Chain A
């Protein structure tokens, strides 16, 4: 791997940029691997990277049916924060946030992590009480999160309309200053490049069609559109398609897959300093470094794999944005798209073993897993390498839906995040 540095930039500039190499190979699949990862999104690629870099396991393949990062990773609105309510969630999201803070250096790849702050607006008494509860719970866990009055919200983010005669007036907000955004593609590409340089095979345009099991029931490999590939261990990291892939091994999942949409506006000069989320009206807004407003909407109400959602959903979000930020009423929207998000009953992920020997799963990140990418990959790599969960992902078992030990962020937030 050729490292990016000031020197390499200068020398390539003098060389008309003719000398840059491919960032990862395009190898043919080997007959078998120590670990096969199904799904080349951020989480799958991060898992492969940490398997190689932390555990020295390099005989690894990432099998992706399309192109890497083409799933939810490349479709998300990139909000990164760690101010979740429960200790278990705080543990994993804060683990991820700490890794984000050093990620560009670690990967020698600019993931454009920008800690511009995420402000979550409260619009009713319930929001106020629940956000303050989050602030206190977060403090106990050593996570920064502070309560801002309506006027302080306005001072932090001047475009906000704080007039009290709008449909959902702003009653204050919770601000995590260390939170922010990152460049989604760069995360996939940076991990892919780092994993590839350590020997991991990234195999794109290869769909997993079946999971082969031996007489004892243990998983031994995957059937793909490029033939059979043996594996000592298999990690399924297929987001919205997890139910489909796990069904190949006869495992039924507590998941439902919903469309979730986002849209971007025409690019304009810098005018929006932070990320604003409003769960009550389903509006998530930030401005990309290119100048586009990046807007997240809510999920549709029905299960779907169509990667598109209803226009009334985005319309509803734009209504809310126009009311909260009147300066944007004349902005033109350029593109909108949808992803398929895998939602668990308690809105917390599932990371760990399955009833099938040698088959592991990392899923259920739903509407909010981009922020967890480094942490999720890190603990899942540990789980695949040792066969045992890391202490951070130990509570996020599949079995919790049998024992009743849920991590109910759904009840805590009651919305997409």
Chain B
């Protein structure tokens, strides 16, 4: 089980959280102008990296807030957590080292 550092509550066990999948997947501003290929990318295509992954989590059974996280998908180690709408401090290449 992962230990997750909620920006609001600190380190808490994974069972209090739900993972919301890849972070920073922006909904197209004007869906009518988006072609099938881009729409498909938005809906279905995911980075799925072997390495550092930016993802969203919600502290469902805690403060109830969403936040972002960088996590290494090989070691499952969290690199950092950061607020929604924010940017991570580490770049993904630094985080890998």
Contacts and interface: CB of A to CB of B under 8 A. Distances in A.
B48 A243 contact: yes
22 contacts: A241-B50, A244-B48, A252-B45, A254-B40, A254-B44, A254-B45, A255-B46, A301-B18, A302-B2, A302-B55, A302-B76, A303-B53, A303-B73, A304-B76, A305-B73, A306-B73, A312-B14, A312-B15, A401-B40, A401-B44, A401-B45, A403-B36
A72 to B, nearest CB: 16
Contacts of B48: 243-244, 253, 255-257, 303
A227 interface: no
Contacts of B21: 256
A254 B14 contact: no
Contacts of B75: 306
Interface residues of B, number: 27
Q: Which 6 A-B pairs have the closest CB atoms?
A: A254-B44, A243-B48, A402-B40, A301-B19, A401-B44, A302-B19
A29 interface: no
A44 B80 CA distance: 38
Contact of A303 (B40, B45, B55): B55
Nearest to A252: B45
Nearest to B39: A402
Interface in A231-283: 241, 243-244, 252-257
Contact of A310 (B1, B36, B37): B1
B74 interface: yes
Interface in B1-24: 1-2, 14-15, 18-19, 21-22
Nearest to A401: B44
A254 B42 CA distance: 10
B73 to A, nearest CB: 5
SS of A interface (majority): loop
A137 B15 CA distance: 37
A345 B18 CA distance: 18
Interface of A: 241, 243-244, 252-257, 301-306, 310-312, 345, 401-404
A310 B45 contact: no
A301 B36 CA distance: 28
Nearest to B46: A256
Contacts of B43: 345, 401
A255 B44 CA distance: 8
A390 B1 CA distance: 43
Contacts of A402: 36-37, 40
B59 interface: no
Contacts of A312: 1, 14-15
A305 B50 contact: yes
Contacts of A403: 36
Nearest to B53: A303
Nearest to A315: B1
A314 to B, nearest CB: 11
B56 to A, nearest CB: 11
B41 interface: yes
B44 A345 contact: yes
A123 B54 CA distance: 37
A311 B45 contact: no
A310 B73 contact: no
B36 A302 contact: no
B76 A306 contact: yes
Given A303-B48, A310-B1, A345-B43, 7 more contacts: A243-B49, A243-B50, A244-B48, A255-B48, A305-B73, A310-B14, A403-B36
Contact of A244 (B14, B36, B50): B50
Contacts of A252: 41, 45, 47
Interface centre among A243, A253, A402, A404 (most CB of B within 10 A): A402
A387 B44 CA distance: 26
B73 A253 contact: no
Nearest to A254: B44
A401 B22 CA distance: 18
Contacts of B73: 257, 303-306
B36 to A, nearest CB: 5
Nearest to A313: B1
Contacts of A304: 73-74, 76
B95 to A, nearest CB: 15
Contacts of A244: 48-50
Contacts of A253: 45-46, 48
A318 to B, nearest CB: 15
Contacts of A243: 46-50
User: Among the interface residues B40, B71, B74, which one has the most CB atoms of the partner chain A within 10 A?
Assistant: B40
